[in-house]
């Protein structure tokens, strides 16, 4: 999606624009879906056809996989890809198992991603953190 105020490309679940700081989806100068410039009074994007008034931005619903469990699995048995099996990423989990977590480097990257909240489950949903 794009910031409707400055047109900056944003991650799909962004709450605030990283560029201008405006709360998404405020603003009316750009289409949130394709980033094309729109007129403030425009109801529909002329390029991609989405409604610009409905604010139907789908925020990804929270996943059901526990963040702490995923993190602990990655730290203790991460080289076997167990945390990837846990979140449903079977394919990359097997790849990780056979490469022993890319000699540990891949596992380390995963641990950092989990710790910073960038790790998603197989549906692309954020991990449950409470």
Verify binding: residue 43, Zn ion, rule CB under 5 A: no
The span from the CA of 117 to the CA of 5, in Å, is 26
Cβ proximity to Zn ion: between 33 and 69 the closer is 33
Verify binding: residue 20, Zn ion, rule CB under 5 A: yes
Which stretches within the chain are classed as H helix? 67-77, 82-86, 90-98, 100-103, 105-116
Count of residues that bind Zn ion according to CB under 5 A: 13
Applying CB under 5 A, which of residues 45, 74, 111, 114 lies at the interface with Zn ion?
45
Give me the DSSP letters along 70-87.
Answer: HHHHHHHHGGGTHHHHHT
Distances (CA, A) of 87 to 11, 67, 112, 114: 21, 10, 16, 11
Cβ proximity to Zn ion: between 47 and 56 the closer is 47
Cβ proximity to Zn ion: between 19 and 118 the closer is 19
Tell me the closest approach of the beta carbon of residue 33 to Zn ion, in angstroms.
4
Residue ranges that bind Zn ion, judged by CB under 5 A: 3, 5-6, 8, 17, 19-20, 31, 33-34, 45, 47-48
């Amino acid at each position: 999606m794009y910031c409707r105020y400055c047109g900056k490309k944003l991650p799909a679940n962004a709450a605030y624009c990283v560029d201008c700081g405006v709360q998404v989806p405020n603003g009316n100068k750009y289409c949130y879906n394709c980033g094309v410039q729109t007129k403030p009074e425009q109801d529909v994007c002329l390029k991609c056809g989405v409604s610009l008034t409905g604010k139907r931005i789908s925020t990804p619903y929270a996943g059901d996989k526990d963040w702490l469990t995923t993190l602990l699995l990655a730290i203790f048995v991460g080289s076997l890809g167990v945390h990837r099996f846990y979140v449903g990423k079977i394919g990359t989990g097997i790849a990780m198992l056979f490469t022993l977590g890319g000699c540990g480097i891949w596992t380390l990257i995963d641990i950092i991603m989990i710790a910073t909240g960038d790790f998603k489950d197989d549906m692309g949903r954020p991990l449950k953190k409470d």
